[in-house]
């Protein structure tokens, strides 16, 4: 079974940037669409962005123009570049298949946007 491990989160000021990584234990990015999701305190988990095996990307309206998803199939890694961060982007960020599979949820990585 493939395992996904998220990393790269942290504390950043409004307007700042981060790069999140999603490392897979197997080669799945070349075969499946993969997505980023986030869950803010007290809210349901929501979809943020996805990338298909042929590099088509799509974004939630709340992050469009600020976040960029990419993947490096040779490294079995997917990235999420977060720019122009806002306090409302504060959440735990997860990667998973798109659409998500229950068995693939990992621990996520915390992003906190605060001055």
Residue 32 is predicted with a pLDDT of: 85
pLDDT-derived band of residue 7, with 50, 70 and 90 as boundaries?
Answer: very high
Beta pairing, strands 18-24 & 109-113: unpaired
Residue 89 is predicted with a pLDDT of: 98
Residue 1 is predicted with a pLDDT of: 76
Residue 26 is predicted with a pLDDT of: 77
Token digits of residue 97:
């298949």
Average pLDDT over residues 101-113: 95
What is the rounded distance in angstroms from the CA atom of residue 83 to the CA atom of residue 23? 21
pLDDT digits (tens, 9 = 90+) for 35-56: 999 999 999 999 999 999 999 9
In the sheet that holds 109-113, the strands lie side by side as 10-12, 109-113, 91-97, 34-39, 46-51, 57-59
């Amino acid at each position: 079974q493939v395992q996904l491990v998220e990393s790269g989160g942290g504390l950043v000021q409004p307007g700042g940037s981060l790069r999140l990584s999603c490392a897979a234990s197997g080669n799945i990015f070349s075969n499946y669409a993969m997505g980023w999701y986030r869950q803010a305190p007290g809210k349901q988990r929501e979809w943020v962005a996805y990338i298909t095996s042929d590099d088509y990307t799509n974004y939630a309206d709340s992050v469009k123009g600020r976040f960029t998803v990419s993947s490096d199939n040779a490294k079995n890694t997917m990235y999420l570049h977060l720019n122009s961060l806002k306090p409302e982007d504060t959440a735990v960020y997860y990667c998973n298949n798109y659409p998500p599979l229950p068995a693939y949820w990992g621990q996520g990585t915390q992003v906190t946007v605060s001055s």
